[in-house]
Amino acid sequence: MISNPEWHKSKVKPYFHQISIDCIEKLIECMESIDIEDMDCDTCFKMQEILGEEIDDMEFLEFAIENFSEMFGYIESGIVNIRIHRDIEGKFWFGAG
């Protein structure tokens, strides 16, 4: 009998996270009338909440928040297939297309 409820959870960190269309739509709705250069604290907090609901891995979430302007650039260009990648050395980047 398995007595550890965590037995099925992998200890290996994921190497990418696909940002869902639902998350992107929420971010677009939040940012519709705001220039990213003029973002206020309330909008920033709301975006962090949206990303926090989407991304479970704290390192992916931190990268997404710190690099939101890059991610929003993809969204603004109409690119909605956005992934966050991590290599074996722990470096992060966006993949889009």
pTM here is: 0.77
Map out the domains of the chain as residue ranges.
Answer: 16-29+40-96
Total residues found in the chain within this entry: 97
Pairing of strands 16-18, 82-86: antiparallel
Neighbouring-strand partners of residue 83: 18, 95
CB 91 within 8 A of CB 82: no
Ordered per-residue pLDDT tens for the chain, 97 residues: 556 666 555 555 668 999 999 999 999 988 886 766 667 788 888 889 999 999 999 999 999 999 998 998 999 899 999 999 999 899 999 999 8
